[in-house]
């Protein structure tokens, strides 16, 4: 039932399409980009739900106030306290290891503004948990979300990040000026 509702809203009401060739893996880190608006979260949830899949996501704890906190947790939100120097990589890797199924969506830019210095936490989480990274591109210009590639982190972050960034080079965010690939090194 949920899948039908997500699909109806995503395809019929909003008019978006999907291009998905990546299998439904039991565990994965989802690297989703470009992230240029808060609407990306809801669009992404509709997209993933229309596939019959469920993903969690990390979000700064400041968004988890009442009553929004109840809503965000219900749709898979995991609050993150960015003021503390706790190891999110360790925490998320442990969650992967202890789960039979777990999909964790992360936006590598870490912000909705142009950021050439992509965060690498998603990569280190996948590497530590020994799970693939599914690349999901959002294209507002074409109204399509694409998931046609996943990578297994090799430990060579320079080469893997280059491959990841190359995947996203042709996607247009809602505000294209807010998406920058930065260096490929």
- The whole-angstrom separation of Cα 150 and Cα 137 is 12
Query: How far apart (Å, rounded) are the C-alpha atoms in residues 102 and 43?
Result: 20
Q: Is residue 93's pLDDT more than 70?
A: yes
Which residue ranges make up each domain of the chain?
2-178
Whether 3 has a pLDDT exceeding 60, the answer reads yes
pLDDT at 183: 75
For 48-89, the pLDDT digits (tens) are 999 999 999 888 888 888 988 898 898 888 888 766 666 889
The CA-based angle 25-45-27, given to 5 degrees, is: 20
pLDDT in tens, 174-183: 999 988 887 7
pTM: 0.90
Angle at 23 between CA 20 and CA 28, to 5 degrees: 105
Residue with tokens 């039979």: 100
pLDDT given at position 145: 98
Identify the sign of the CA torsion 151, 154, 157, 163: negative
């Amino acid at each position: 039932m949920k899948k039908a509702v997500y699909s109806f809203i995503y395809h019929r009401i909003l008019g978006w399409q999907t291009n998905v060739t990546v299998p439904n893996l039991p565990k994965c880190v989802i690297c989703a980009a470009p992230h240029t608006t808060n609407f990306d979260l809801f669009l992404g949830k509709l997209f993933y739900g229309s596939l019959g899949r469920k993903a969690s996501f990390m979000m700064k704890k400041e968004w988890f106030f009442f009553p929004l906190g109840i809503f965000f947790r219900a749709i898979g939100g995991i609050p993150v306290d960015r003021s503390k120097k706790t190891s999110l990589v360790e925490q998320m890797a442990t969650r992967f290891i202890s789960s039979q199924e777990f999909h964790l969506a992360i936006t590598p830019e870490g912000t909705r503004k142009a950021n050439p210095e992509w965060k690498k936490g998603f990569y280190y989480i996948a590497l530590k948990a020994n799970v693939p990274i599914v690349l999901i591109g959002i294209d507002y210009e074409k109204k399509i979300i694409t998931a046609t590639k996943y990578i297994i982190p090799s430990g060579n972050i320079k080469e893997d990040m280059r491959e990841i960034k190359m995947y996203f080079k042709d996607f247009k965010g809602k505000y294209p000026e807010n998406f920058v690939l930065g260096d490929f090194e």
